[in-house]
């Protein structure tokens, strides 16, 4: 599963880690995150993430 980077602050979403503080269990792909999920570091919307390859 792909990692995604926040274009605003540089936070990297790693599906292997998830975002447990915000109820996202490890193993959740970026695509499967709810639309309401935001960058846990700076709070920007999901649209502002880009895929790392």
By CB under 8 A, name the binding residues for other proteins.
Answer: 5, 7-10, 12, 35-36, 38-39, 41-45, 47-48, 50-53
Total residue length of the chain: 53
Taking the complex as a whole, the smallest distance from the CB of residue 17 to other proteins amounts, in Å, to 17
Nearer CB in complex with other proteins: 16/53: 53
In the chain, the largest separation of any two C-alpha atoms, in whole Å, equals: 26
Taking the complex as a whole, the smallest distance from the CB of residue 36 to other proteins amounts, in Å, to 7
Cα distance between residue 18 and residue 36, in whole Å:
15
């Amino acid at each position: 599963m792909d990692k995604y980077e926040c274009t605003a602050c540089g936070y990297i979403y790693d599906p292997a880690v998830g975002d447990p503080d915000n109820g996202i269990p490890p193993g959740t792909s970026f695509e499967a995150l709810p639309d309401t999920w935001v960058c846990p570091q700076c709070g920007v919307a999901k649209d502002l993430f880009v895929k790392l390859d």
